[in-house]
């Protein structure tokens, strides 16, 4: 099918602000948005910049604002977002500084991630084999351990757009993964971090994160669970 | 505009109605404090509120307060129970329906006042 791809471009060496550029393309309905961007870069405009690595929805590099919603370019098929003769718009994710074209500075995002102590803490001596966990306990963190840190959720959050100091949904999901891990011992410390004014209370339940997550993590539900854990002091 | 779904608009309207209620309360504080300039100044300003634009405004105030109050209950249900999150969409439509009913009732009651007279 014939479509127009509209990309929000920005070259810090030439442009003062972002501008749209259109590319006419013939694509297959089963092409992914990533394939379409490759077509533009390889055959029409080699100056186009975007991030991608695995191309299979695991590395989380190619989060973009596709047709008004955050999605992974490698997990979005053309037929799901554009019709014959239609326009496909691609913008960088919001709330983070644009470095070039679709590439944003992810450092503030990873700083928030580092702030929640994203590592297993258990000072008790390790058993001879593994630290066992019951299936029921594993179920508690089943969703939050699926996160690939693509930033689709955090950069879809209206609170994060307005207040960059908010840790954001992705970091809270990561905190949830350890708070609800029965083997971890730093629960109270993490609940303390979540209780700060950059933590869970900034969440105003707009549900954009849940809608945007390419891993189908019920993010708002997990954030609410963390809120209740902070409130009742239990996890 | 980010293409969010119900949750985004529920949040946006909650913010907007909250700000409108704040402005309405501030107006109250200012207009009541006018008594320090004497009864005449106070009454002159308060007669303005009988004009039709203010009476139409009253309908919007009622809509804003009803929405903010019932959506507040929806948010509490989400914060305190998992069910609140599971049914957030449906509960938002319920909030909109209740707000519409209350607004329509206020409109019905206020039409004679907007047309003139009490």
Helix, strand, coil percent values for chain A (each to nearest 5):
35, 15, 50
Residue to mutate among A206, A211, A226, with most B CBs inside 10 A, is A206
Residue A22 has pLDDT above 80, yes or no: yes
Answer whether B2 sits within 8 Å of A69, measured CB to CB.
Answer: yes
d(CA B104, CA B76): 26
- Residue of A176, A150, A186 lying closest to A229 (CA atoms): A176
Answer whether B82 sits within 8 Å of A225, measured CB to CB.
Answer: yes
Residue B57 Cα, gap to closest chain A Cα (Å): 27
The two beta strands, A87-91 and A98-100, are unpaired
Answer whether B11 sits within 8 Å of A158, measured CB to CB.
Answer: yes
Q: Supply the DSSP string of A5-38, one letter for each residue.
A: EEEEE--TTT-SS-EEEEEEEE--TT-BHHHHHH
Residue A165 has pLDDT above 70, yes or no: yes
Residue B23 Cα, gap to closest chain A Cα (Å): 21
Q: What does the pLDDT read at residue B117?
A: 63
* pLDDT tens sequence across A102-113: 999 999 999 999
| A chain contacts of residue B3, beta-carbon cutoff 8 Å | 67-69
Residue A72: beta bridge partners? Answer: A63
Q: What does the pLDDT read at residue B82?
A: 86
CA distances from B78 to A190, B10, B19, B87 (A): 22, 13, 22, 9
Round the average pLDDT of chain B to a whole number and report it: 93
* pLDDT tens sequence across B102-113: 999 999 998 888
Percent of chain A with pLDDT over 70: 99
| B chain contacts of residue A65, beta-carbon cutoff 8 Å | 2
Sequence-separated (6 or more) residues with CB below 8 Å from residue A185? A121, A122, A123, A124
Answer whether A211 sits within 8 Å of B4, measured CB to CB.
Answer: yes
Q: What does the pLDDT read at residue A162?
A: 96
Q: Which residue of B has its CA nearest to A209?
A: B4
* pLDDT tens sequence across B57-111: 999 999 999 999 999 999 999 999 989 999 999 999 999 999 999 999 999 998 8
| A chain contacts of residue B6, beta-carbon cutoff 8 Å | 207
Answer whether B7 sits within 8 Å of A94, measured CB to CB.
Answer: no
Answer whether B2 sits within 8 Å of A204, measured CB to CB.
Answer: no
Domains of chain A: 2-104 (3.10.20.30), 107-232 (1.10.1060.10)
Average pLDDT over residues A12-32: 97
Range scoring the smallest mean pLDDT among A29-33, A105-109, B42-46: B42-46
Q: A225 CB near a chain B CB, below 8 Å?
A: yes
Q: Supply the DSSP string of A211-235, one letter for each residue.
A: HH-TT---HHHHHHHHHHHHHHT--
Q: What does the pLDDT read at residue B116?
A: 74
- Which residues of B lie closer than 8 Å to A, measured between beta carbons? 1-8, 10-12, 14-15, 75, 78-80, 82, 84-86, 88
Helix (H, G, I), strand (E, B) or coil at A214: coil
Average pLDDT over residues A135-159: 97
Residue A149: phi and psi, rounded to 5, are: 55, 45
* pLDDT tens sequence across A48-106: 999 999 999 999 999 999 999 999 999 999 999 999 999 999 999 999 999 999 999 99
d(CA B58, CA B52): 10
Answer whether B7 sits within 8 Å of A228, measured CB to CB.
Answer: no
Residue B118 has pLDDT above 80, yes or no: no
Residue to mutate among B3, B74, B76, with most A CBs inside 10 A, is B3
Q: What does the pLDDT read at residue B113?
A: 82
Residue B8 Cα, gap to closest chain A Cα (Å): 4
Fold entry, domain B6-115: 3 helical TM bundles of succinate and fumarate reductases (1.20.1300)
Average pLDDT over residues A167-177: 98
Burial class of A15 by CB neighbour count within 10 A (0 to 12, 13 to 18, 19+) = exposed
* pLDDT tens sequence across A10-20: 999 999 999 99
Tokens of B48: 């303005």
Residue A212 Cα, gap to closest chain B Cα (Å): 9
| A chain contacts of residue B4, beta-carbon cutoff 8 Å | 69, 156, 158, 206-208, 211
Residue A170: phi and psi, rounded to 5, are: -60, -45
DSSP-assigned letter for residue B111: H
Average pLDDT over residues A169-181: 97
């Amino acid at each position: 099918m014939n479509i127009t791809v509209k990309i929000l471009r920005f070259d810090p060496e030439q442009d003062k602000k972002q501008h749209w550029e259109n590319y006419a393309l013939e694509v297959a309905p089963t092409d992914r948005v990533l394939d379409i961007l490759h077509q533009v870069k390889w055959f029409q405009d080699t100056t186009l910049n975007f991030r991608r690595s695995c191309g299979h929805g695991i590395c989380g590099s190619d989060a973009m604002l596709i047709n008004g919603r955050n999605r992974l370019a490698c997990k979005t098929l053309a037929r799901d977002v554009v019709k014959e003769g239609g326009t496909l718009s691609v913008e960088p994710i919001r709330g983070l500084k644009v470095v070039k074209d679709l590439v944003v500075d992810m450092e503030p995002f990873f700083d928030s991630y580092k702030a929640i102590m994203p590592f297993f803490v258990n000072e008790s001596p390790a058993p001879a084999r593994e630290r066992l966990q019951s299936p029921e306990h594993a179920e508690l963190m089943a969703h939050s351990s699926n996160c690939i840190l693509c930033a689709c959720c955090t950069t879809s959050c209206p609170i994060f757009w307005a207040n960059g100091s908010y840790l954001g949904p992705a970091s809270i999901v990561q905190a949830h993964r350890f708070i609800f891990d029965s083997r971890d011992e730093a629960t109270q410390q993490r609940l303390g971090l979540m209780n700060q004014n950059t933590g869970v209370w900034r969440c105003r339940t707009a549900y954009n994160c849940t809608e945007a997550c390419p891993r189908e993590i019920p993010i708002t539900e997990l954030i609410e669970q963390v809120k209740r854990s902070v409130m009742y002091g239990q996890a | 505009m980010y293409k969010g779904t119900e949750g985004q608009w529920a949040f946006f309207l909650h913010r907007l109605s909250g700000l409108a209620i704040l402005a309405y309360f501030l107006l109250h504080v200012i207009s009541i404090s006018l008594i320090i300039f004497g009864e005449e100044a106070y009454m002159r300003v308060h007669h303005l509120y009988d004009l039709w634009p203010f009476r139409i405004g009253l309908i919007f105030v009622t809509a804003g307060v009803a929405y903010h109050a019932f959506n507040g209950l929806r948010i509490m249900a989400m914060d305190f129970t998992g069910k609140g999150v599971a049914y957030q969409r449906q509960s938002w439509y319920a909030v909109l329906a209740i707000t519409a009913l209350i607004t329509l009732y206020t409109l019905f009651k206020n039409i004679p006042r907007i047309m003139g007279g009490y």
